[in-house]
């Protein structure tokens, strides 16, 4: 795996995922700056972002070695849910003690079409007080990254294989 450091975060990816890594790196730098300016929070000491091409590889590669034993023993309890989520999740966040890991699917693998991508962040007062300082920056960063990757996937789908026309064309047709 290739690695790259971005604003205190380690980005890990396969050589064939260079385009996705470049996209994530730019978005990650923006997210870190936004979080720092908005909440004054710094990145965790051990934060990693993976371009995940396999849910199983992501989970076991991102976990510290001592967590891998526990994950292996409990595999039957969590693996079916993870496998189901793989088809529609654009990204995952996982915490292993102090290590924070984020997995982002590359656009070529496709991301399940979600009608209201990211809308869960702004439903009333989901987070309050100190809990908000913990969750919102992480959710904003994940939202920015997965939204950017999903937008690239959608553009490639529309431009590359004769799919539906780009969103702007649909909007103009509706205005006529």
Residue 114 counted as domain residue: yes
Structural domain tally of the chain?
1
Tell me whether residue 110 is in a domain. yes
Residue 64 belongs to domain spanning: 2-171
Domain assignment present for residue 41? The answer is yes
**111 assigned to some structural domain:** yes
Model confidence at 160, pLDDT cuts 50, 70, 90, reads low
The pLDDT tens digits for 37-92 are 888 888 888 999 999 999 999 999 999 999 999 999 999 999 999 988 888 888 88
In a domain, residue 147? The reply is yes
Neighbouring residues of 111: CB distance < 8 A, sequence distance ≥ 6: 88, 89, 90, 105, 146, 149, 150, 153
Helix, coil or strand: residue 103? strand
Give a yes or no: residue 56 inside a domain: yes
pLDDT higher at 130 or 27: 27
What digits encode the pLDDT tens for the residues 86-124?
Answer: 888 888 889 999 999 999 988 888 665 444 444 444 344
Indicate whether this model's pTM tops 0.75. Answer: no
pLDDT band at 125 (very low <50, low <70, confident <90, very high): very low
Looking at the domain assignment, is residue 176 inside a domain? no
Q: Over pLDDT 90: what percentage of the chain?
A: 33
3-state secondary structure of 57: helix
Does the pLDDT at position 128 exceed 60? no
Q: Write down the pLDDT at residue 57.
A: 93
């Amino acid at each position: 795996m290739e690695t790259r450091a971005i604003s205190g975060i380690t980005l890990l990816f396969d050589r064939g995922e260079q385009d996705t890594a470049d996209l994530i790196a730019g978005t990650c730098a923006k997210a870190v700056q936004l979080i720092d300016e908005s909440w004054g929070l710094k990145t965790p000491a051990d934060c990693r972002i993976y371009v995940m091409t396999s849910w199983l590889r992501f989970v076991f590669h991102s976990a510290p070695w001592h967590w891998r034993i526990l994950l292996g023993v409990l595999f039957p309890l969590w693996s079916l849910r993870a496998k189901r989520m793989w088809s529609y999740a654009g990204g995952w966040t996982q915490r292993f003690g102090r290590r924070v890991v984020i997995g982002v699917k590359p656009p070529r693998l496709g991301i399940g079409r979600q009608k209201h991508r990211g809308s869960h962040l702004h439903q009333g007062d989901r987070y309050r007080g100190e809990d908000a300082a913990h969750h919102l920056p992480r959710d904003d960063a994940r939202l920015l990254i997965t939204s950017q990757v999903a937008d690239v996937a959608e553009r490639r789908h529309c431009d590359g294989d004769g799919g539906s026309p780009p969103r702007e064309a649909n909007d103009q047709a509706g205005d006529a």
